[in-house]
Amino acid sequence: MKVLKLIIVLTAIILTSCQTALQVAQCPLKTLNYTNNESIEFIGFKNLNRNNILAKDYGVELERTGMASNMQNYYMGVFSLQELATYKSNKRYIAFVDVIKHQFSNNDAIEDNSAMHLAGWITAALSGFSLVPIYVPLICCSDRNKCLMTLRGSYVLYIYDTQTKEIVINLPMEIDVQEKYTGQFFHKSTDKIAVQERYRNMLYNLWTEYFMKASRFLTENN
């Protein structure tokens, strides 16, 4: 019995070593040339959970760069034109992002061989875990230690004019990123914050690029 327990423990250690932590390169926030616009207030994202890991602090970034004042965590409405018409703001323009589609996901099994994995465990069970040289390689080889990270989204930036009571700008924005890595997102040593930061910054760069275009348009036409 002690030998069997030892074999099982050694098997678990070996199988754990078949996987490695996921490591990603940093995606820095772009340095953009823009003019501070003190006439815009950002109220958040329509059709997206306010606690979304990638979007929840975007208003903070806009305010930090001087592109808009941040009211993302205070606006509790539904982003309708009727509601915006009665919304109390000390800014002329109200900005928000309508989320048409948003996907941020990981797949640690993108290249795994499920049939080989099952065969390895069946061999282990039928042999009483004695055929280590056979079932361990089967299980290890079935896990290719690859991860697919996906960030896809369709968004529209809206700017509402509180004086004319109408939408004056709407800019569609798209992102479609799929990256395959060696390593596992759910490995205990993966720096998940660093992974999320990479894709968050991709989104920030996209949104801010279009926000800057909108801000310039408003500055040039007023």
pLDDT the model gives residue 31: 76
pLDDT at 10: 44
> How far apart, in whole angstroms, are the C-alpha atoms of residue 220 and residue 172?
21
Question: How confident is the model over 84-125, as pLDDT tens digits?
Answer: 999 999 999 999 999 999 999 999 988 664 555 555 566 666
Establish if 127 belongs to a structural domain. Answer: yes
How far is Cα 32 from Cα 170, in angstroms, rounded to an integer?
21
Q: Which of 142, 132, 106, 181 is nearest to 18 (CA)?
A: 142
Residues 114, 178 contacting (CB under 8 angstroms): no
Domain boundaries, position 44: 33-220
- The CA distance from 222 to 218, in Å, is 6
Count up the domains in the chain and report the number. 1
pLDDT per position in the chain (222 positions), as tens? 544 454 444 444 444 557 899 999 999 998 766 656 679 999 999 999 999 999 999 999 999 888 999 999 999 999 999 999 999 999 999 999 999 999 999 999 886 645 555 555 666 665 666 555 656 555 555 577 999 999 999 999 999 999 999 999 999 999 999 999 999 999 999 999 999 999 999 999 999 999 999 998 998 887
* Predicted pLDDT of residue 4: 44
23 within domain boundaries: no
31 neighbors 202 (Cβ within 8 angstroms)? no
Asked whether residue 22 is assigned to any structural domain, the reply reads no
Residue 59 sits in a domain whose CATH number is 3.40.50
pLDDT of residue 3: 46
Is 6 inside a domain boundary? no
> What does the alpha-carbon distance between residue 62 and residue 69 come to, in Å, rounded to a whole number?
7
DSSP codes joined into one string, 148-178: EEEEEEEEEEEEEETTTTEEEEEEEEEEEEE
Instruction: Give the pairing of strands 93-107 and 146-161.
Output: antiparallel
What is residue 11's predicted lDDT score, i.e. its pLDDT? Answer: 47
Output the six-digit token pair for 203: 């989104």
